[in-house]
Amino acid sequence: MNIIVVVNCLIKMQYIIPMDSINAILVAECFIKHVFKLYGLPNIIISNYGSQFVLDFWQALYKQLSI
């Protein structure tokens, strides 16, 4: 079991999303489902999975949003 933690620093709100596995496509889907609908696109992403994961996440997010 893995978890994704998304923090909105402006309003000091956090979202803890359980996931069975972690990859950029699944994280983008969960992000859209739980966070994007409330706050839109983030300004920055901080990840302990490295810069390649962040790049893959942005690409998956843009693809799913048709941007």
Residue 6 located in a structural domain: no
Q: Is the pLDDT at 11 greater than 90, yes or no? A: no
What pLDDT does residue 53 have? 92
Q: What is the pLDDT of residues 19-63, one digit of tens each?
A: 998 899 999 999 999 899 888 998 888 888 889 999 999 999 999
Residue 15 located in a structural domain: no
Residue 2 located in a structural domain: no
Q: Which domain holds residue 49?
A: 21-67
How many helices and strands (H and E) does the chain possess?
A: 3, 2
What pLDDT does residue 33 have? 92
Counted domains in the chain:
1
Residue 53 located in a structural domain: yes
Residue 10 located in a structural domain: no
How far, in whole angstroms, is CA 45 from its chain's centroid? 8
The Cα 58–Cα 52 span in angstroms is: 10
Structure-token pair, residue 1? 């079991």
Structure-token pair, residue 40? 């839109």
pLDDT band at 65 (very low <50, low <70, confident <90, very high): very high
